[in-house]
């Protein structure tokens, strides 16, 4: 049986969502680990003020491609951009491009999707379901297609506590829903959305479940595989540790905590934060593409790509005395608002108290200072956006799921020893403290574009913030003394009683230690 690089040699691959986070990693990995791949056709949407070719050129200049650039400076010649718009009929692919794709494509990787949790249902349906239907229609016209791999999400069926590697019945027939909302006004669709999505938390998970059903309907005509990653985070090993390029999901939380903006978050400390490194997802995706094409399973195989049941990481490990906070104290972000220090609690009232004390009050004081300096206030707006983002995550940070991973284990068992090293997706080997350290450094280097040589200055800034905090606390104690205690005989008596009690306890403790010695 051919190895994975041998299989992809001479193959033409179509990738949607190639300019997105996962898509870029997929493109890079294919070019680097399967150097004999013939061509990568990528669907690209021209943006306002930026042509399709310019977008692809900017993408290839990204640091992500440094390794493949060193090994093959002409790697860009294998990338063929195709103008496309997922919201348009036929994906807005020209007739000439359709003819070219149907004549040569061997494997399709469908990564494109909207991942916004608060996306309006109509738009989420268009991008996640209708676009998938149209891509499947195009795939059926491809004369040499060997595999169609669809990237879904482990939370597509988050209304269930135990999730097997099967495609569950959809909450509604996708075709009927699409036909119904087509004629509805956006306002009407918005009003009925909560009833439609039912016990799912958002339109993202809802439409992803519908998309799986749409893909399943074509399993008799195409060789199909479905990858279900959980919360996709920074790279673990490839192309280098800690690569990340966005604020989505945990990245935004980590940065907000590292900047000292996030001080409280409602989550279950013991709940599993099912993070999965992006390179693990991509390695499994390429392996699944190989397996699907070579073995041609009779039904669509689903691969739950998760860590929780194998090598868990918990939400409580974000907090003050755990990996994330300690990492940012060693490698602080520049111009932090406060020292990194986050409180994770599952109690609603405690969380609201800390939001008031640690978020809203400091934001109000800071904005007042900016106004007095003649500048535009901004901190309250930043905190409001942060609270909205954290609120959208609460559903996932407050509970656990169990995912079956038999197909993932089966796929791993099918790989040669060499392929297991090159396309490693064995999360049992993942060292969480090391990974989180690299993740936090990655947010600093690749998202915020901060230089590691400036860490001494950032540490000095943290010490300055610590001194300001101590000074403020001292002044607050003096103020309380002057206003409340110094003016009341009863308050002074209580104060002296507490102080004398403390001294007695210390004396007793010192005497006990002496006797013990």
Q: Residue 120 is part of a domain; what is its CATH number?
A: 3.40.50.720
User: 258 with 285, same domain?
Assistant: no
SS (H, E, C) 66-118: HHHHHHCCCHHHHEEEEECCCCCHHHHCCHHHHHHHHHHCCEEEECCCCCCCC
SS3 345: strand
User: 261 with 285, same domain?
Assistant: no
User: 428 with 484, same domain?
Assistant: no
83 — phi, psi (to 5°)?
-65, 130
Cα separation, 107 vs 223, in Å, equals 10
Cα separation, 294 vs 288, in Å, equals 10
**413 burial level (CB within 10 Å; 0-12, 13-18, 19+):** exposed
User: 73 with 23, same domain?
Assistant: yes
Cα separation, 111 vs 91, in Å, equals 14
Alpha-carbon distances of 26 from 31, 239, 343, 436, rounded to whole Å: 9, 11, 36, 22
Cα separation, 478 vs 501, in Å, equals 21
Kindly write down the DSSP assignment for every residue of 206-247, as one continuous string: HHHHHHHHHHHTTTTTS-EEEEEE-EEES-SSSSSTT-----
Cα separation, 500 vs 421, in Å, equals 66
Alpha-carbon distances of 89 from 85, 126, 189, rounded to whole Å: 9, 10, 21
Closest CA to 208 of 84, 311, 114: 114
**309 burial level (CB within 10 Å; 0-12, 13-18, 19+):** middle
> Which residues are paired to 303 by β-bridges?
227
User: 96 with 228, same domain?
Assistant: yes
Domain count, the chain: 3
User: 65 with 149, same domain?
Assistant: yes
Give the distance from CA 235 to its chain's centroid: 11
User: 229 with 282, same domain?
Assistant: yes
Sheet holding 12-16, edge to edge: 79-83, 39-44, 12-16, 107-110, 147-151, 224-229, 301-305
Start-to-end Cα distance in the chain: 72
Q: Are the C-beta atoms of 301 and 226 separated by less than 8 Å?
A: yes
Cα separation, 273 vs 173, in Å, equals 31
User: 204 with 71, same domain?
Assistant: yes
Q: What is the pLDDT of residue 509?
A: 67
User: 98 with 213, same domain?
Assistant: yes
For 83-119, the pLDDT digits (tens) are: 999 888 889 999 999 999 999 999 999 999 988 888 8
Closest CA to 146 of 16, 7, 29: 7
User: 390 with 255, same domain?
Assistant: yes
Q: What is the pLDDT of residue 435?
A: 93
Alpha-carbon dihedral angle through residues 209, 214, 215, 219, given to the nearest 10 degrees: 130
User: 165 with 40, same domain?
Assistant: yes
Quote the tokens at residue 297: 């399973």
User: 296 with 385, same domain?
Assistant: no
For 443-490, the pLDDT digits (tens) are: 999 999 988 888 899 888 888 888 888 887 788 777 777 676 666 777
Q: Which residues of the chain have pLDDT under 50?
A: none
**164 burial level (CB within 10 Å; 0-12, 13-18, 19+):** middle
For 307-338, the pLDDT digits (tens) are: 988 999 888 887 655 778 888 888 899 888 88
The domain of 32 spans 4-239+273-311+402-408
Q: Are the C-beta atoms of 395 and 199 separated by less than 8 Å?
A: no
């Amino acid at each position: 049986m051919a190895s994975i690089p041998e299989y992809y040699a001479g193959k033409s691959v179509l990738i949607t969502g190639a300019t997105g986070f996962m898509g870029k990693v997929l493109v890079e990995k294919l070019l680097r680990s399967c150097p004999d791949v013939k061509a990568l056709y990528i669907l690209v949407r021209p943006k306002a003020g930026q042509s399709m070719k310019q977008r692809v050129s900017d993408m290839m200049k990204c640091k992500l491609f440094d390794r493949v650039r060193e090994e093959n400076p002409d790697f860009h010649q294998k990338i063929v951009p195709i103008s496309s718009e997922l919201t348009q009929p036929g994906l807005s692919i020209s007739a000439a491009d359709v003819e070219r794709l149907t004549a040569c494509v061997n494997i399709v990787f469908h990564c494109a999707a909207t991942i916004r949790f608060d996306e309006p249902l109509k738009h989420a349906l268009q991008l996640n379901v209708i676009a998938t239907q149209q891509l499947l229609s195009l795939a059926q016209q491809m004369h040499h297609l060997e595999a169609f791999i669809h990237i879904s999400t482990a939370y597509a069926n988050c209304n269930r506590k135990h999730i097997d590697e099967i495609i569950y019945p959809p909450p509604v027939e996708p075709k009927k829903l699409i036909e119904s909302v087509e004629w509805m006004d956006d306002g009407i669709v918005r009003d009925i959305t909560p009833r439609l999505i039912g016990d799912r938390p958002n339109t993202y998970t809802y439409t992803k479940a519908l998309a799986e059903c749409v893909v399943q309907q074509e399993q008799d005509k195409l060789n199909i595989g479905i990858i279900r990653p959980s919360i996709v985070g920074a790279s673990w090993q490839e192309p280098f540790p800690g690569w990340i390029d966005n604020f989505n999901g945990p990245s935004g939380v980590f940065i907000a905590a590292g900047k000292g903006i996030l001080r409280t978050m409602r989550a279950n400390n013991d709940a599993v934060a099912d993070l999965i490194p992006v390179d693990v997802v991509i390695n499994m995706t390429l392996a699944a593409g190989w397996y699907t094409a070579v073995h041609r399973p009779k039904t669509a195989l689903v691969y739950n790509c998760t860590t929780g049941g194998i090598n868990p990481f918990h939400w409580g490990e974000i907090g003050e005395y755990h990996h994330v906070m300690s990492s940012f104290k060693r490698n602080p972000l520049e111009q932090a608002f406060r020292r990194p220090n986050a409180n994770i609690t599952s109690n609603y009232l405690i969380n609201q108290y800390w939001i008031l004390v640690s978020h809203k009050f400091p934001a109000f004081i800071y904005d007042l200072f900016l106004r007095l300096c003649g500048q535009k206030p901004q901190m309250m707006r930043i905190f409001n956006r942060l609270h909205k983002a954290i609120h959208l995550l609460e559903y996932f940070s407050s509970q656990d799921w169990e995912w079956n991973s038999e197909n993932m284990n089966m796929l791993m068992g099918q790989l040669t020893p060499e392929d297991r090293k090159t396309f490693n997706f064995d999360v049992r080997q993942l060292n969480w403290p090391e990974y989180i350290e690299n993740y936090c450094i990655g947010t600093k280097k690749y998202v915020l574009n901060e230089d590691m040589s400036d860490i001494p200055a950032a540490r000095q800034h943290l010490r300055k913030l610590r001194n300001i905090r101590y000074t403020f606390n001292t002044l607050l104690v003096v103020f309380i003394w002057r206003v409340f205690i110094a003016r009341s005989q009863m308050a002074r008596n209580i104060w002296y009683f507490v102080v004398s009690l403390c001294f007695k306890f210390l004396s007793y403790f010192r005497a006990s230690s002496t006797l013990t010695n």
